[in-house]
Amino acid sequence: MILAVVLAVYSFLLTMALVLGAPWWLVRMATSGRYRAGLRGRLGVIPKVLREAAAGRRTIWLHAVSVGEVMAATELVRSLRAALPEWTIAVSTTTETGQKLARERFASLPVFYLPLDFAFIVRRYLHLLRPELLILMESEFWPNLMNECTRNGVAVAVVNTRISDRSLPRYLRLKNLWQPILQQVSLFLAQSEENARRLVQIGAPAGKVHVSGNLKYDVKAVGESPMTLLLRERLPAGARVLVAGSTLDGEETLLLDAWRQVLREIPGAVMVLAPRRTERFQPVAALVGASGFSIVRASELRCSTEKIAPGSVLLLDTIGDLASVYSLGNVAFVGGSLVPAGGHNPLEPARFRVPIAMGPSCENFREMVEAMKTADALRIATKDSLAGDLVEMMRGGDGVRSIGERGRAIFDAQAGATQRTVEAVLSLIRRDTI
């Protein structure tokens, strides 16, 4: 009874949000293609790729909201396909960038946009796909999707689960509403002990919560990406390289100001600047140009023989290449951390033994960052210390190189989450099919 009331209220609020927000959405759709992307599928018109893939095969539906979740899911999907070669894994995403990357990473699998979370739309997808398992990445709790899966005998697993500092208070305030929804989940696999405790705090059944580790520890580049190979050829021989990844609005200005000081000390250095969001590529390019630096756009290198000049800023305006491009760096700066955004994953560059700097906002990866700080495996830079820290690290030396070595050691020690997740998921499938 409580669950029915919760779902009714949720569906009503979702409907009102769509109705009241319709003028804004219509303007957005008229002015930006990314808001139109996948619209028919979101509204319940099942894409042809799913109709073709669903014929006669046992299916797992995996949902990964955006680029980060798709990257984290890559090894998981590969391992599941190896273990279940006769099955189909259908992958949904929410964002356009996530969709593009999923189609690249899972080219032979059906990839589609997650439908709007209304019961009557979800039922259409479940009726066609007939999945035996729904896998939700991280904290993608969709009440109607989860409820309809339960009603149709579909097991639900939430893997790589993380409850951030920012979202925990909201979940706790609404615990009485979330609890009946979370009770429907068959399995929770948390990134850490703290995240496991938080899941139980917000209403997940303790007996269904287990710690498997962070799948992002197991993100592996399959060789070097074509873009990484191209950049390796075009970079000046012997140049010191700073890779500034996943930067957000406000950080590029700070980095460019610090870069002036770096170039005064190390004139031939090159900075690779990779904004987090694709819509910011053009504004960041304009900012770099207005700052007086020579700029090269990675997307244009494919169509030219241009070399990257010493002292340049290379704008990495491509999708899915950053994780591999970190390997080119003598130093990596991990963005989302000089502004209050919680930071991004420092283990991506750590796996290449690249010394890492990041700002003080690290809430999204707090446990990981604390472990790396304790091991002296990264440098925390403030806005005031950024320039000096980057100069010191870019100069190199045994002390700086050892930061990278310790980062790699932490990466190696934490790996294995994919195998633990696969074993748990396979156990769940076998249990539910006996």
CB atoms within 10 A of CB 194: 14
Q: How far apart are CA 420 and CA 213, in angstroms?
A: 8
Q: How far apart are CA 210 and CA 189, in angstroms?
A: 5
21, pLDDT greater than 90: no
Q: Give the model confidence (pLDDT) of 226-268 as tens digits.
A: 999 999 999 999 999 999 999 999 999 999 999 999 999 999 9
Stretch 6-25: mean pLDDT: 78
Domains within the chain, CATH numbers bracketed: 38-213+416-433 (3.40.50.11720), 226-414 (3.40.50.2000)
Contact assessment for residue 363 and residue 411, using Cβ atoms and an 8 Å cutoff: no
Contact assessment for residue 188 and residue 199, using Cβ atoms and an 8 Å cutoff: yes
Q: Give the model confidence (pLDDT) of 197-234 as tens digits.
A: 999 999 999 999 999 988 877 755 456 889 999 999 99
What pLDDT does residue 29 have?
61
350, pLDDT greater than 60: yes
SS (H, E, C) the chain: CHHHHHHHHHHHHHHHHHHHCHHHHHHHHHHCHHHHCCHHHHCCCCCHHHHHHCCCCCEEEEECCCHHHHHHHHHHHHHHHHHCCCCEEEEEECCHHHHHHHHHHCCCCCEEECCCCCHHHHHHHHHHHCCCEEEEECCCCCHHHHHHHHHCCCEEEEEEECCCCCCHHHHHHCHHHHHHHHCCCCEEEECCHHHHHHHHHCCCCHHHEEECCCHHHHCCCCCCCHHHHHHHHHCCCCCCEEEEEEECCCHHHHHHHHHHHHHHHCCCCEEEEEECCHHHHHHHHHHHHHCCCCEEEHHHHCCCCCCCCCCCEEECCCCCCHHHHHHHCCEEEECCCCCCCCCCCCHHHHCCCCCEEECCCCHHHHHHHHHHHHCCCCEECCCCCHHHHHHHHHHCCHHHHHHHHHHHHHHHHHCCHHHHHHHHHHHHHHHHHC
Q: Give the model confidence (pLDDT) of 253-310 as tens digits.
A: 999 999 999 999 999 999 999 999 999 999 999 999 999 999 999 999 988 888 999 9
The region of weakest confidence among 93-102, 150-159, 199-208, 243-252 is: 93-102
Stretch 97-111: mean pLDDT: 92
Quote the percentage of the chain above a pLDDT of 70.
94
Average pLDDT in the chain? 90
What dihedral do alpha carbons 73, 340, 96, 243 form, nearest 10°? -70
Q: Which residue has the tokens 């919560």?
A: 209
Local confidence band at 434 (pLDDT 50, 70, 90 cut-offs): very low
Q: Which residue has the tokens 């709790």?
A: 141
Quote the percentage of the chain above a pLDDT of 90.
71
34, pLDDT greater than 90: no
Q: Which of 168-177, 325-334, 409-418 has the highest mean pLDDT?
A: 325-334
Stretch 430-434: mean pLDDT: 59
7, pLDDT greater than 90: no
Stretch 89-118: mean pLDDT: 93
33, pLDDT greater than 60: no
Q: How far apart are CA 358 and CA 364, in angstroms?
A: 13
